[in-house]
Amino acid sequence: MRESPHPMVAAAKTKPPATQPRKANRQVRRKQLIEATISVLAERGQTGLKLQDVAEAAGLSYGLVNFHFETKDKLLAETLSYMASEYQANWQEMLAAAGDEPAKQLNALIQADFCEKIFTRPRVLAWSTFWGEAQSRPHYQEQCGSKDTAYIRVMESICARVLGESKQTLSAERAARVLRVTIEGVWLDFITMNDPYSRREALRTVYTCASVLFPKHFDDKGLIR
């Protein structure tokens, strides 16, 4: 008969690896520093950003910033990657929750760009700094290119289905482009106007565009139920 292991041995076998808390703590610190970077970018832009400013905004030491990211360029690249992944996860989650109806799916994509997690002044300002540097830093475009392409293809596909339902002959590719350009323009208004309009008015502006493109499914208040 095989003997049962000693209780202390069994406990040792089931005890989580000692590296787990340390790894979790590392991830928390990195996220803190990236969130602080977003705030500093919103205030000072990429040219004015210093690692010491990021450390102070995060309430951490300069040494920790240097330990996790080593250079300003690496910190900025990681911040862009973090924001791009966050943006992608947000619209994919909202799309998945919308169900199978194409008009509801398109509405979910519109709503995703103006949810409270994404449509904040610091984040939109931080995005604008990366847009401004994209031409001189091709790796910024490379980092987000596949994610942008995926989003565009999904929107075009959904637009095609909405147009098909209402038997419209409008190009789905152009409809998706007009809608995206409108959303981007509203984001730009949000950070450039002295007295920007509200989140609700921003949404209604985009819905006005959607109502022109898809009059059977949208009005200027949103999805027609």
Say yes or no to pLDDT of 20 above 50: no
Torsion of the alpha carbons at 203, 209, 211 and 214, rounded to the nearest 10: -120
User: What is the percentage of the chain residues whose pLDDT exceeds 70?
Assistant: 84
Regarding whether 125 and 149 lie in a shared domain, the answer is yes
Regarding whether 65 and 103 lie in a shared domain, the answer is no
pLDDT of residue 26: 80
At 118-135, the pLDDT tens digits run 999 999 999 999 887 766
What is the domain-level CATH number for residue 15? 1.10.10.60
Q: Residue 145: which pLDDT band, with cuts at 50, 70 and 90?
A: low
**Is 1 within a domain?**
no
**Is 60 within a domain?**
yes
Regarding whether 96 and 20 lie in a shared domain, the answer is no
How many Cβ atoms from other residues are within 10 Å of residue 207's Cβ? 19
**Is 5 within a domain?**
no
Q: Could you list the residue range(s) of the whole structural domain that residue 19 is in?
A: 11-70
User: pTM, whole model, 2 decimals?
Assistant: 0.84
Q: Which two tokens stand for residue 155?
A: 């929107």
Regarding whether 91 and 172 lie in a shared domain, the answer is yes
User: Amino acid identity of 18?
Assistant: A
For residue 42, give Cα distances in angstroms to 17, 46, 124. Answer: 39, 9, 8
Boundary residue ending a domain (20, 42, 70): 70
Q: Residue 7: which pLDDT band, with cuts at 50, 70 and 90?
A: very low
What is the domain-level CATH number for residue 154? 1.10.357.10
Say yes or no to pLDDT of 116 above 80: yes
